[in-house]
Amino acid sequence: MSFSTRFSNGWTVAKTSMKVLKAHKELIVFPILSALSLLLVMGSFVTMLLAGAGWDPSVLQIGNFGAYLVIFLFYIVNYFIVVFFNMALMHCSRLYFEGAEVSVSAGLRFSAGRVKAIFSWAVFAATVGTILRIVQDNVGWLGKIIIGITGIAWSVSTFFVIPVIAYESLGPVDSLKRSAAMMQEKWGEGIGANFSIGLIGLLAFFVVGIAAAAVSSINEGLGIGVFVTGSVVLLNIGSAIRSILISAIYNNIKGNINDHFHQQMMDELFIVK
């Protein structure tokens, strides 16, 4: 399959994912809630550390063990929040594919019913992340190379992990193996098509940048506001579209997809090696 075909297929999938979001605009609330929750968590961690130092940052001292413990706990909360809201969004996408009623409450209820599985994955992912952080901090330039390679492998292997956790009732390790196996089965050379989806976001940021620059020529502060607001909106939209896309591909593999996503196009995009 040529690059132009992959690009065309990727563009089609992205547009179709956008149509799902356009049909149910309320789904954008999931990445917004996720982002707000993460900000609250970061604020809580900073507040906790400053309070422990008597609100004087200059005397804030944390040993290596304490620092990695904080990182580990932060990772757990971070992974839990991200997976919880992404799972809710993906479940709403599945409801859409099945022709069922879609609602934010339905997504939240589903994720709430999978809290134990989400927490188990968060602890597992946080453990891996903390170990990688320790390696990065203590093995110099070699550690950075290892982290870079491992990070790519982790991103690819966990591509389907959220829907797997949601619908296949597997533990963290088995969920990772299942997700990696699905990637090996379906991703193939079609990974090139994912480039076109990322390009959509890049072009959108470019448009926002041009608009912000134009406004800045009149009022610099307003121009910055336009850029920040536009970037936040695009990041949330992009996050929602990516979750819908993952849900679509997963349900395609499981044979649950309907006419909203063209079967032949999906098979060509994620061809078997």
What pLDDT, in 10s, does the model give residues 206-240? 888 898 888 888 888 888 888 888 888 888 888 88
Residue range(s) defining the domain that contains residue 244: 3-269
- Please, which pLDDT band fits residue 23 given cuts at 50, 70 and 90? confident
Tell me: pLDDT of 66 over 90.
no
Residue 10: how many other CB atoms lie within 10 Å: 23
Query: d(Cα 120, Cα 80) in Å, to the nearest integer?
Result: 9
- Please, which pLDDT band fits residue 86 given cuts at 50, 70 and 90? very high
Query: d(Cα 174, Cα 114) in Å, to the nearest integer?
Result: 16
- Please, which pLDDT band fits residue 151 given cuts at 50, 70 and 90? confident
Tell me which residue has tokens 């290596």: 64
Per-residue pLDDT tens digits for 94-129? 888 888 888 999 999 999 999 999 999 999 999 999
Listed in sequence order, the DSSP H helices in 24-171 are: 29-52, 64-97, 104-112, 115-138, 140-157, 161-167
Query: d(Cα 1, Cα 23) in Å, to the nearest integer?
Result: 31
Show the tokens assigned to 72: 């580990």
For the chain, the average pLDDT equals 80
Query: d(Cα 49, Cα 107) in Å, to the nearest integer?
Result: 34
Query: d(Cα 77, Cα 200) in Å, to the nearest integer?
Result: 30
| Number of structural domains in the chain | 1
Residue 42: how many other CB atoms lie within 10 Å: 13
